[in-house]
Structure 1
Amino acid sequence: MTTCDSQTMDRALGALSGLSLGDALGMPTQSMSDQDIKTTYGRISTLRDAVHEQPIAPDMPAGSVTDDTDQALIVADLLIQGEGHIDPQTFAQSLLRWEDSMRARGSHDLLGPSTKLALEEVRAGADIAGTGKTGCTNGAAMRVTPVGIATPIKGDTDRFARRVYESCQVTHDTLPGFQGAALVAAAVSYGMNGADTHQALQSALTAVSGMQVPAAWSPKANVLTRARISIDLAQASASISNDEFEDRLRAECGSSVEANESVPTAFALAWRFAEKPTEALLSAANLGGDTDTIAAMAGAVLGACNGIGGFPKDLLDQVASVSKLDLAPIARRLVNLRNRQDRRAQ
């Protein structure tokens, strides 16, 4: 393996590991208010068991991942099988099988609202060309990291947009759903190319603003505009405390499952903590709202830009052990897929 390939592999593994670590750090606080988090846990400063009262993941042990990581690995598997493509019908069936398996194990941690609605329509025999037309949440963004790892963005943003859209269509076939996913995937892909975090975030905003896909219009606030505002907030708040910054994120960006809140908030955290990736994930875990997904998205971007060394090995090892993850072979296959696509473009 060449030095260049070693660096690329390190960033790919960093993206997947950052995603899973963020997911696990946010697991015990997901869907809770910031005040409930403080009352229940104090402040999250490491991996924690979920309390019995946790609304989504009661009693899950520290280091457990959620649907964010599970679905990202489904996307990775489909990309590898499809040589860079995801067939929407195959994807829908894979998600349905995953949901059934989670139910059989008694898990409460199932699908987000947009994905659940779309897949109920698929089960009922609906045409997948129309099932994602109301999906404006972050379900596509939380699972899209493998697309960013496997797909070069430089030189062919149209191809990149098509690959992201393939991962969105069945559940999030809307402009907010697509833009949220495209921003995360693009930032990861730029990180894979060697960009630092600030460069990757800015480049992603520029690239996605020019992408055209047949996604449905939505009256909701624009994801790109809010992401730019969130980065402005992070830049303007450099001198304030982390507590004050988190208060401003809640008030000015939001931390709900909506793509136009959670993706911009993840970008703001990645910007502020560009050189302290773990701090970004811990901040996300304490925000309240969709903590696991915000932390997972920020972790993916920061991991792609900093490599796996940006995160504590003991925490990564705990997540891998508890959640039975073996990410290195997946990262290697995605990097090989990226390299093949790079060669075809030359």
Structure 2
Amino acid sequence: MNDQLDRALGAYYGLALGDALGMPTQVMSREDVVRVYGTVTGFEPALPDNPVSAGMPAGSVTDDTDQAVIVGKLIDEGRGRIDPLRLAHELLAWEKEMKAKGSFDLLGPSTKAALDAVARGVPAAEAGRYGSTNGAAMRVTPVGIAFAAEPLPDFLDRVVESCQVTHDTTVGIAGAAAVAAAVSTGVGGGTLDAAVAAAVTAARAGARRGHWIAGADIAARIEWAWQLVEGLPQAEALDRICTLVGTSVASQESVPAAFAVLAVAGGDPWRSTLLAASLGGDSDTIGAIAGAVAGSVAGLSALPAEAVRTLRTVNALELEPLTARLLGLRASGTPGTSAAPAPATGTGHGTATATGSAYSPAG
């Protein structure tokens, strides 16, 4: 396996790894996670009283992985472009299938509200004008696999397409841009430091796309969260992430929290995802983001082989063919057209629209 394919598979399977490890602890407080699990050391089944993941066996992925696969398939089928209405229909079909299975892990409120608006005839470019949670960030990894992060305006165009329909906001796009750029940098051979730097740069530029919405600056918060945990013992670092950074579905909390986890773990994919699971809150999404970035830098070969086998078996997950096709787009240099970013205003609409769902009750 060549290095770029190893890194791309590391990103996709790293996302699934963090998602599955965080599945049983999502919507739990950090105190409850410590009380029930102590330190998370591997896959666990969900407790029967978990309002989101009850009944899910150990190693199960959630909407984070499922929707990242949907986005990847649409990029592949569209030869680098995502049709926003097609994305809306695919997400609605996914939720219908989940409901049929009796799953509680459904579309988050931002995504649901936007897709309901589309169903009422609201144009796709307007449906996501209020979505600010982390659904766009959680499913954007295939954009980072399929496209180089430079030139940045072209790359942001592709990020925006993956955000369209549900999270067309400055905050939603900035969070997605950070994750996509970090993954793309890792897949391209970059170090963890380079990936974090790319995330900050892309988040800053991404915040100039889409409808303006109030929220802390994600680029600044990634830098701050990265430094916040420096030199702290593990337990203290996790407590500080929960207390100060936050672990909710808000993009300006969960995205910086994922980068803080990466800092604590030194970018190790397995340790990063275990620490994310130990946070509680939106732990599956924080773990998915941290796992995708760490996996893009370290590669699939750095993920525990037994854990990857569990992911494949429990979820019938086979990401190799899709990942290879996405890398084919990257190799062909299919950037699409570039549009200059419009300034963010209270009523303005830039070149972006966004999509988002966090873990089920919130995204």
User: Counterpart in 1 of 2:357?
Assistant: none
**8 Å CA contact 1:161, 1:212 repeated in 2:** no
Tell me the amino acid that sits aligned with residue 164 of structure 1.
Answer: V
Counterpart check, 1:98 vs 2:94: yes
TM-score, structure 1 as length reference: 0.94
The separation in 1 between residues aligned to 2:92 and 2:101, in whole angstroms, is 14
Unaligned regions of 5+ residues in structure 1, if any? none
User: Counterpart in 2 of 1:340?
Assistant: 332
User: Counterpart in 2 of 1:321?
Assistant: 313
1:138 to 134, 143, 162: 134
Counterpart check, 1:183 vs 2:178: yes
The separation in 2 between residues aligned to 1:253 and 1:220, in whole angstroms, is 13
User: Counterpart in 1 of 2:164?
Assistant: 169
For the residue of structure 2 that corresponds to 1:57, the secondary structure is coil
The separation in 1 between residues aligned to 2:335 and 2:213, in whole angstroms, is 37
User: Counterpart in 2 of 1:271?
Assistant: 263
1:75-116, CA deviations, whole angstroms, 9 ceiling, x for partnerless residues?
000000111111111111111111111111111000122111
Counterpart check, 1:258 vs 2:250: yes
**8 Å CA contact 2:173, 2:207 repeated in 1:** no
For the residue of structure 2 that corresponds to 1:178, the secondary structure is helix
**8 Å CA contact 2:247, 2:254 repeated in 1:** yes
Equivalent residues in 2 for 1:57-136, closer than 5 Å:
57-136=53-132
For the residue of structure 2 that corresponds to 1:256, the secondary structure is coil
Tell me the amino acid that sits aligned with residue 129 of structure 2.
Answer: K
Query: Taking every aligned residue pair, what percent have the same amino acid on both sides?
Result: 46
The alpha-carbon deviation at position 41 of structure 1 amounts to 2.5
Q: RMSD between aligned alpha carbons?
A: 1.6
Counterpart check, 1:17 vs 2:10: no
Deviates more, 1:124-133 or 1:84-93: 124-133
Tell me the amino acid that sits aligned with residue 135 of structure 2.
Answer: G
Tell me the amino acid that sits aligned with residue 245 of structure 2.
Answer: C
Deviates more, 1:14-23 or 1:268-277: 268-277
The separation in 2 between residues aligned to 1:343 and 1:241, in whole angstroms, is 43
The alpha-carbon deviation at position 224 of structure 1 amounts to 1.4
The alpha-carbon deviation at position 339 of structure 1 amounts to 0.5
**8 Å CA contact 1:152, 1:342 repeated in 2:** no
User: Counterpart in 1 of 2:351?
Assistant: none
1:101-141, CA deviations, whole angstroms, 9 ceiling, x for partnerless residues?
11111110001221111112122222212111111100000
Tell me the amino acid that sits aligned with residue 83 of structure 1.
Answer: R
The alpha-carbon deviation at position 150 of structure 1 amounts to 0.1
For the residue of structure 2 that corresponds to 1:171, the secondary structure is coil
User: Counterpart in 1 of 2:287?
Assistant: 295
User: Counterpart in 1 of 2:358?
Assistant: none
The alpha-carbon deviation at position 209 of structure 1 amounts to 2.0
Tell me the amino acid that sits aligned with residue 319 of structure 1.
Answer: L
User: Counterpart in 1 of 2:345?
Assistant: none
**8 Å CA contact 1:198, 1:271 repeated in 2:** no
The separation in 1 between residues aligned to 2:266 and 2:198, in whole angstroms, is 15
User: Counterpart in 2 of 1:221?
Assistant: 216
The separation in 1 between residues aligned to 2:336 and 2:183, in whole angstroms, is 21
Change over 3 Å in CA distance of 1:54–1:339 after alignment to 2: same
2:236 to 236, 244, 268: 244
**8 Å CA contact 2:262, 2:290 repeated in 1:** yes
2:204 to 182, 188, 209: 209
For the residue of structure 1 that corresponds to 2:121, the secondary structure is coil
Deviates more, 1:103-112 or 1:65-74: 103-112
The alpha-carbon deviation at position 199 of structure 1 amounts to 1.4
**8 Å CA contact 2:11, 2:295 repeated in 1:** yes
The separation in 1 between residues aligned to 2:190 and 2:277, in whole angstroms, is 26
User: Counterpart in 2 of 1:28?
Assistant: 24
For the residue of structure 2 that corresponds to 1:210, the secondary structure is helix
1:319-344, CA deviations, whole angstroms, 9 ceiling, x for partnerless residues?
11001100111111111111011699
Change over 3 Å in CA distance of 1:343–1:66 after alignment to 2: closer
Change over 3 Å in CA distance of 1:328–1:288 after alignment to 2: same
Q: How many residues align?
A: 337
TM-score, structure 2 as length reference: 0.90
User: Counterpart in 2 of 1:232?
Assistant: 227
The separation in 2 between residues aligned to 1:210 and 1:123, in whole angstroms, is 31
